Amino acid sequence: MGVTKIVEIPVVTTEVPIGPQHPALHEPVMLKVYADGEEVVRVDVNTGYNHRGIEKLCEKNTFYRDIFIVSRVCGICNAVHANCYVRALEQILDVTPNRRAKFLRVLSMELERIHSHMLINAVMAEIVGFETLFMQIMLDREKVMKAKEILTGNRVSADFMMVGGVRRDIDDVKKEKIKEILLKLKPRVEYYVKVFEEDETILKRLIDVGKINYRDATSHSFVGPPARASGVRIDSRASDKYDAYDEIPFNVVTRNEGDSWARMMVRWSEVMESIEMGLYILNNLPLDGNPVPDERRLPRKFPPGEAFTRVEAQRGELTYYVMSDGKSQNPYRVKIRTPSFNNIVNSAFMYVGYSLADVPVILTSLDPCISCMERVTVIDLEKGTRERIPFKQLSSGGKR
Amino acid sequence: MKRPKLLETVLRNLVSKPATIQYPREKTTIEPDFRGIQYADLSKCTGCSLCSIECPADAIKMTPIPQEYAVPKINPRRLYPLINYGKCVYCYRCVKVCPVNAYIVTSKYDIAGPTRYTSEDLSLKTLKEVKSQ
């Protein structure tokens, strides 16, 4: 009788289940932590508490309805999800939006990046026990939400992207309002950077916690701020130059420390970059025609074809694969790969050697977004087996 | 030991006005073009069902107009879009795809309540009522 699978469980340890609902986590993920005294010796990452079947839902709805469905994959990164999907549709249809539309798309995505990074920094302040700072950052985050409301018509769900452009234009009054908000925000962010650099509570909890070196960051395929904090210069805004990122100047922020503090500081530096980008966009908004396409005249029929697009979401590289068979109104396949999937599922090795109290800090420093990353696991109740279905099999329409 | 950096802000906030508002008594300030509830103007609506087909949340159901209302000739099937605001995601796809621009948009957002809230009253108000014999 051959042994098919060996499950190693450390014997002289205590098993501490953290999650899926836990006050120290702000996302439904379960970390099974094995601790020897206070020291973590092994962590199992269990997911599957937030699976909603969005990829299948996309196949059952038309191309245009899917724009609004994929926006609801994740609340915080809704504009980037919609942008990635819409650019895939534009590649299939061979449509190019004008420059003004591209600039407005980038503005909405950068506003989203600002408020997402401010949120996770605020959560980190709360996790380390600094609730005053949490309140302060959230108060300033409200200003960014207001800017997004002025631009898109809603504080969170932008619904701003459409094939061939954006869904609403801005006038000079709105432009001035957003500019004023960004200028007000800038000194506040500079102040928070100073707090994160100098405050003893934060430094003691974050520095040298959850270190990843360059080699581990690349071999475990980390993306986004966790990779950039370990010195990996990975940013699809710079490498792909989609939308208007080829015209707007910005720097890719990297740090070499690789610990939780570096990840948070990379996020603050990106907020500063995004504010500068937002101001540049508002000062140099091109005037080459109407960015809002008439949604009644958009093509109904999609030619056969497939498209693979990627964007730099707040948490890293987000990719979409959209396939059209040319026969029906619905996409044949929509595949989403979110950055949190890479960052969280591969993160178990980071916790080993640190104390139990550091577990929430390390998880928060990765900026988990569980609703984005859930995948299909098939559980056979009769045989009692669990099976994870790979992409190849799913794309073949369930055929083995 | 160094002086905590946030001490100054904390002291300032102790004496200043609170940032939160007493919500139901005091309204939140929103933009005039905030995406609030929307309803069809039945004097323009042709009952073509396009909004119902395009709605990503399946919140719009084409419903017959009650007999006591006078319906314009452009709507021979006497149908109107009934929006269930509990299901609606306020993406305004219906507003943008309507071929006759029949939708009226508002910035009303405080619609949570114990009863089911639909666009029935708002839409039917746009029609003239005829006394049934």
The 10s digit of each residue's pLDDT in A40-50 is 988 888 887 87
> Does residue A267 sit in helix, strand or coil?
helix
* Residue from A60, A68, A196 to probe the interface with B (highest B Cβ count within 10 Å): A68
The CA–CA distances, whole Å, from A387 to A378, A398, B26 equal 5, 14, 53
Residue-level pLDDT at B6: 67
**pLDDT of A4:** 73
* Count of CB atoms situated within 10 Å of the CB of A353: 12
Which has the closest alpha carbon to A88: A311, A241, A368?
A311
Q: Tokens for B30?
A: 């929103």
- For residue A147, the model assigns a pLDDT of 94
Contacts of A71 (CB under 8 A, 6+ apart): A78, A79, A81, A82, A157, A158, A159, B91
pLDDT at A377: 58
Contacts 24+ apart (CB under 8 A), A280-283: A280/A248, A280/A249, A281/A103, A281/A104, A281/A106, A281/A107, A281/A110, A281/A244, A281/A248, A282/A107, A282/A175, A282/A178, A282/A179, A282/A182, A283/A179
- Indicate the Cα dihedral angle A52, A224, A201, A212, nearest 10°: 110
How far is the alpha carbon of A252 from chain B, nearest alpha carbon, in Å?
Answer: 29
Alpha-carbon gap, residue A293 to A93, rounded angstroms: 14
pLDDT at residue A7, as a whole number: 67
Check: CB of residue A90 under 8 Å from CB of residue A158.
no
* Contacting residues for A79 by C-beta, under 8 A, at least 6 apart: A71, A105, A108, A109, A112, A152, A158, A160, A161
User: Among A36, A83, A194, which Cα is nearest to B8's?
Assistant: A194
Interface probe for A, chosen from B3, B6, B60 (most Cβ of A below 10 Å), is B6
Single pTM value for the model = 0.89
Q: For the purposes of burial, counting CB atoms within 10 Å of the CB of A287, is it exposed (0-12), middle (13-18) or buried (19 or more)?
A: exposed
In A, which residues are within 8 Å of B91 by CB distance? 68, 71, 157, 159
pLDDT for the residue numbered B93: 92
Q: Give contacts of B2 with chain A, Cβ < 8 Å.
A: 198, 200
CB A33 within 8 A of CB A351: yes
Helix extents (H) in chain B:
7-15, 50-54, 93-97, 120-124
Q: How many CB atoms lie within 10 A of CB A233?
A: 11
Q: Quick: pLDDT tens for A133-191.
A: 899 899 999 999 999 999 999 988 989 999 999 999 999 999 999 999 999 999 999 99
Cβ contacts (< 8 Å) between B57 and chain A: which residues? Answer: 68
Q: Which residues on chain A are in Cβ contact (under 8 Å) with B89? A: 68, 72, 157, 159
Q: Which residues of B lie closer than 8 Å to A, measured between beta carbons?
A: 1-2, 4-6, 9-10, 19, 30-31, 33-35, 54-57, 89-93, 96-97, 99
pLDDT of residue A280: 95
| From B6, B19, B99, residue closest to A296, measured CB to CB | B99
**Chain position carrying tokens 């120290």:** A24
Of residues B4 and B91, more confidence is placed in B91
Are A65 and B56 a contacting pair at CB < 8 A? yes
User: What would the two tokens of residue B115 be?
Assistant: 């009863």
**Average predicted confidence (pLDDT) for chain A:** 88
Q: What phi and psi, each to the nearest 5 degrees, are found at residue B105?
A: -105, 145
* Averaged pLDDT, B70-83: 92
pLDDT tier, A398 (very low <50, low <70, confident <90, very high otherwise): very low
The token pair at A321 is 């694969």
CA pair distance A118, A186, nearest whole angstrom: 12
User: DSSP assignment, residue A117?
Assistant: H
Instruction: List the domains of chain B with CATH numbers.
Output: 28-124 (3.30.70.3270)
**pLDDT tier, A400 (very low <50, low <70, confident <90, very high otherwise):** very low
In contact, B78 and B64? CB cutoff 8 Å: yes
